[in-house]
């Protein structure tokens, strides 16, 4: 395993720390006091990062068989629950009276494609299991999907009152873009050419550019009202 990924579990641990910090007041500190759907989604999302940490640690110790078994088990058992609970949370969010009216459709526009990209990255990672350099990048890229919601909350909390929620949201998207550009540049300098990071960068840039105009369009608002079961 190349040196840059031999200790990837520490990078995943750092990513988990960022996610925990972002969601500490709303999820981790009051863990178990929210709705069942909210708890399931938060727990499975956390376990996904823990699974990636475990996968990396197993490979760094040469436990290839265990790496494969835990990976397949996680993909079969954990991923469907994570995605299903995410879809449910987007639906519940559309009728959240504590949010300003524009926000649930916008977050829905971010979350639904992000869940689709999560599935795509995992499928591509499994299809490239025989090509370790591509496989580990597809799987590593899935962690970054948790950064926008975590960093938005973290930035808005730590930098308040100078930075509001929307500024924090834009900042979180730009942070992910910078991370992906750095990863792409590092790969190019090392002579590596793989799809995972450019694909993810294209996704995040497109999502960032479109989240305002699309989430405010009538067709998307109609779709979100239907998805959220809003009548009248």
- Of the two residues 232 and 32, the one the predictor is more confident about is 32
Q: Is residue 232 part of a domain?
A: no
Q: 175: closest CA among 15, 50, 24?
A: 15
Q: Is residue 14 part of a domain?
A: yes
Q: Rounded to whole angstroms, how far apart are CA atoms 11 and 177?
A: 17
Is the pLDDT at 119 greater than 80? The verdict is: yes
Q: Sorting pLDDT into bands at 50, 70 and 90, what band is 4?
A: low
Whether 32 and 39 have beta carbons less than 8 Å apart is answered as: yes
- The count of structural domains within the chain is 1
Q: What is the pLDDT of residue 139?
A: 95
pLDDT in tens, 147-198: 999 999 999 999 999 999 999 999 999 999 999 999 999 999 999 999 999 9
Q: What are phi and psi of 117, to 5 degrees?
A: -65, -35
pLDDT in tens, 91-111: 999 999 999 999 999 999 999
- Residue 149's domain comprises 3-227
Q: Is residue 74 part of a domain?
A: yes
Is the pLDDT at 1 greater than 50? The verdict is: no
- Of the two residues 63 and 211, the one the predictor is more confident about is 211
Longest Cα–Cα distance of the chain, Å, equals 59
pLDDT in tens, 71-97: 888 888 999 999 999 999 999 999 999
Q: Is residue 85 part of a domain?
A: yes
- Residue 91 burial (C-beta neighbours within 10 Å; 0-12, 13-18, 19+): middle
Q: Rounded to whole angstroms, how far apart are CA atoms 148 and 137?
A: 19
Q: Is residue 135 part of a domain?
A: yes
- Which range is least confidently modeled, 4-13, 33-42, 107-116? 4-13
Q: Sorting pLDDT into bands at 50, 70 and 90, what band is 116?
A: very high
Q: Sorting pLDDT into bands at 50, 70 and 90, what band is 216?
A: very high
Q: Rounded to whole angstroms, how far apart are CA atoms 182 and 194?
A: 14
Task: Kindly report the average pLDDT of the chain as a whole number.
Answer: 93
């Amino acid at each position: 395993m190349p040196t840059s990924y031999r200790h990837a579990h520490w990078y995943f641990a750092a990513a988990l720390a960022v996610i925990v910090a972002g969601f500490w007041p709303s999820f981790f500190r009051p863990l178990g006091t929210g709705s069942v759907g909210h708890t399931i989604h938060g727990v499975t999302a956390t376990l996904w990062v823990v699974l990636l940490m475990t996968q990396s640690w197993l490979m760094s110790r040469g436990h290839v068989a265990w790496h494969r078994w835990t990976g397949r088990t996680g993909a079969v058992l954990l991923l469907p629950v994570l995605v299903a609970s995410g879809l449910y949370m987007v639906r519940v969010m559309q009728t959240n009276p504590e949010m300003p009216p524009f926000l649930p459709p916008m977050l829905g526009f971010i979350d639904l494609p992000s869940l689709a990209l999560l599935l795509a990255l995992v499928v591509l990672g499994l299809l490239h299991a025989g090509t370790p350099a591509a496989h580990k990048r597809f799987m590593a890229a899935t962690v970054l999907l948790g950064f926008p919601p975590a960093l938005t909350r973290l930035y808005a909390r730590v930098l308040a009152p100078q930075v509001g929620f929307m500024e924090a949201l834009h900042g979180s998207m730009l942070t992910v873009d910078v991370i992906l550009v750095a990863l792409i540049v590092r790969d190019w300098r090392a002579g590596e050419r793989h799809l995972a990071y450019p694909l993810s960068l294209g996704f995040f840039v497109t999502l960032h550019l479109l989240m305002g105009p699309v989430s405010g369009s009538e067709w998307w608002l109609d779709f979100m009202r239907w998805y959220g079961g809003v009548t009248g």
